[in-house]
Amino acid sequence: MADAKPRVKVPSSAAAGEAFTIKTLISHDMESGQRKDGDGNPIPRKIINRFTCDFNGTSVIDMTLEGAISANPYIEFDAMIDADGEFTFNWYDDDGSVYSATSAISLA
Amino acid sequence: MTFTRREALVLGAGGLATITLAPAAMAAAFEDAIAAFTGGAAAGEGGIEISAPEIAENGNVVPVEVSAPGAEEIVVFAPGNPAPAVCNVKFGPLAGSQRLSTRIRLAKTQDVTALARMGDGSFVQVARTVKVTVGGCGG
């Protein structure tokens, strides 16, 4: 799917050192490589194989995804911040493309 | 194409053998995957939780949440899937907690298993049975 559309939900502000939840969703078929087409030929694998979230260059999570992750991967996790800044989200596709999203946040 | 009775019996037996062999091979792949993560170390219990529905009607989308306070890395396996690995999460310094929630595919009823590598280098493991009504691997 060429038009993978990332969506992230991050609060606009948070207290220092306090955990808050980030939700991410990206539209993607996550073709697992296990399925077969109408002629019985296997459909080649095409999934998002890695997802990362960084805040001002420091890692929050770094996740490896396999074929067993559902289509339109939804990932929810917790983060905390100690300064104003920006979250960077990257999804790495099997075909080499990288889908990115950013979200600014400030200290409450 | 027609089969003699003898050929049909041989084919049937062969088919049965491959069916019975397959789970053993899958279990081996699962064991290997665990060993690759722990480096052969035994995994303890406690300190890790996995929450998933008891019965998943649609194996294509099964919500799963794993949390292991103090973990550096968590892996999730679905031993009953054609490929047991599900995901691997490394928590960075800014992770608010060692928790992850996502949606996974399950081919059949099985024990979804999670392992965590804790800050002190030890490993913990937990499994939870999920009954799957309709498998989600495109069979």
- For an interface test with A, give the residue of B81, B89, B94 to mutate (most A CBs within 10 A): B94
For residue B85 the two structure tokens come to: 């690995």
- pLDDT at B74 (0 to 100): 95
Q: Read off the pLDDT band of B33 (50, 70, 90).
A: confident
- For B68, the 3-state DSSP assignment is coil
State how beta strands A98-107 and A13-14 pair: parallel
What does the alpha-carbon distance between residue B9 and residue B46 come to, in Å, rounded to a whole number?
50
Task: Examine the pLDDT at A91 and tell me if it is beyond 60.
Answer: yes
Q: Which residue of B has its CA nearest to A18?
A: B96
**Cβ–Cβ below 8 Å for B95 and A81:** no
**Cβ–Cβ below 8 Å for A58 and B104:** no
At A102, give phi and psi (nearest 5°). Answer: -130, 155
Domains of chain A, by residue range, sit at 5-35+42-107
Shortest CA gap B51–chain A (Å): 14
Ordered DSSP codes for A20-32 = EEEEEEE----B-
- pLDDT at B15 (0 to 100): 53
**Cβ–Cβ below 8 Å for A75 and B102:** yes
Tell me if ipTM is over 0.85. Answer: yes
% of chain A residues with pLDDT over 90 = 86
Quick: pLDDT tens for A14-66: 999 899 999 999 999 999 888 888 898 999 999 999 999 999 999 999 999 99
Stretch A61-83: mean pLDDT: 94
Residue A41 carries which DSSP code? P
Shortest CA gap A67–chain B (Å): 7
Quick: pLDDT tens for B53-88: 999 999 999 999 999 999 999 999 999 999 999 999
Report pTM: 0.83
Q: Which residue of A has its CA nearest to B74?
A: A63
Strand partners, B14: none
Stretch B133-137: mean pLDDT: 80
Task: Classify domain A5-35+42-107 by CATH architecture.
Answer: Sandwich (2.60)
